[in-house]
Chain A
Amino acid sequence: TQLLEQSPQFLSIQEGENLTVYCNSSSVFSSLQWYRQEPGEGPVLLVTVVTGGEVKKLKRLTFQFGDARKDSSLHITAAQPGDTGLYLCAGTFGGNTGKLIFGQGTTLQVKP
């Protein structure tokens, strides 16, 4: 059974600060996605990583995929109140199924 551990679960910071969210698995990911979810809405895809060691940037967000493809991180530079939300990592673990296994999420609050 694949499990994803996300940390921290909650993060409350001031506008302008940097932060990092971590996602770890006991199994090797086939692919890993990061989503952002706002209250009452479905998750919105931020990025997909598939190659070990891969780094992707999306404006102030930097995503890293571990060399062994068992961990990932999301780093936000100079956080803004608009970054507030639930950040979810989700992975696939091979086979023909695309079902996603999600972490429990990181709730981020950025105070102005």
Chain B
Amino acid sequence: AQRVTQPEKLLSVFKGAPVELKCNYSYSGSPELFWYVQYSRQRLQLLLRHISRESIKGFTADLNKGETSFHLKKPFAQEEDSAMYYCALATDSWGKLQFGAGTQVVVTP
């Protein structure tokens, strides 16, 4: 069965420190993975997807098929990175998404 696991409910980091959000998945096919972010009082929005291999707002994520992981990283956290982050797996080419439970990131000055 397909599943997305985000083991940390809350991640508290200091401004300027590195931040890593963990995401593990189980999926029998070729996975298509996304990170979505929700800032306070805003809608859920796409942060990045693994096929684009982009760095968005300083964040990167590498798909590791051997470890079935798609961890999100940023070398220097900023206060504006405080938000809820969701890892999601597309279960087909139509983009139907299976989400993890989310990780709340709090960046303190």
- A-B complex is real: no
A interface residues, Cβ below 8 angstroms from B: none
